[in-house]
């Protein structure tokens, strides 16, 4: 066989394998967690990017879709202590049966979840194109950990790309979950 045909055949075969290859794995510092992490897979989707070409995904792959999972990482709060921090990302979804969204949590040594927001009041569901999303929290001076990521509840896939974790000014509002305005004044015992 002629050498140039062998090279062309090898390139063609490699292209087919690349197209059929599963997404790249996603290692440290990113982890999979949540109520039902075994029902989800995480990875890097080189074909599904918004800008960075390195879109991370969380995909429900087994189970009935009753649980939720998250793609997340945790970092030391040392560089962010006493500051307002914003986590931003481009988010895209496919067939999300319940909801998805960005989230962030700040822990103190004696108070996990000292600050928390999970986008439950601004859910993304169904199939959507890339859209900018953000979460902003104040980090207490004595904070120990900042955790952030994307949550997926139910079936479907959520991608995140073009991620930033940055200190912002006090003019940027802090996100907080809205409490039900029609709360009972007395408990039902």
pLDDT tens digits, one per residue of 128-165: 999 999 999 999 999 999 999 999 999 999 999 999 99
Q: pLDDT category, 76, cuts 50, 70, 90?
A: very high
| pLDDT value of position 23 | 53
Residue 44 has pLDDT above 80, yes or no: yes
Bridge partners of residue 32, in order along the sequence: 71
CATH number for the domain formed by residue range(s) 23-168: 2.60.120.260
CA distances from 82 to 107, 132, 164 (A): 13, 26, 19
| pLDDT value of position 159 | 96
Per-residue pLDDT tens over the stretch 85-128: 999 999 999 999 999 999 999 999 999 999 999 999 999 999 99
Q: Which of 98, 112, 177, 178 is nearest to 140 (CA)?
A: 112
């Amino acid at each position: 066989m002629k050498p140039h045909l062998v090279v062309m055949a090898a390139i063609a075969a490699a292209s087919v394998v690349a197209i059929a290859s599963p997404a790249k794995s996603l290692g440290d510092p990113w982890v999979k967690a949540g109520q039902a992490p075994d029902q989800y897979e995480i990875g890097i989707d080189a074909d599904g990017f918004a800008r960075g070409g390195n879109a991370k995904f969380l995909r429900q792959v087994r189970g009935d879709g009753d649980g939720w999972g998250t793609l997340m990482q945790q970092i030391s709060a040392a560089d962010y202590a006493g500051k307002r921090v914003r986590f931003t990302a481009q988010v895209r979804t496919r067939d999300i049966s319940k909801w998805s969204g960005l989230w962030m949590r700040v822990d103190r040594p004696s108070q996990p979840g000292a600050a928390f927001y999970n986008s439950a009041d601004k859910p993304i569901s169904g199939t959507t194109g890339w859209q900018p999303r953000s979460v902003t929290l104040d980090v207490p001076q004595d904070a120990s950990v900042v955790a952030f990521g994307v949550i997926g509840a139910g079936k479907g896939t959520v991608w995140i790309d073009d991620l930033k974790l940055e200190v912002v000014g006090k003019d940027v509002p802090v996100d907080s979950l809205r409490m039900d305005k029609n709360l009972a004044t007395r408990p039902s015992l």
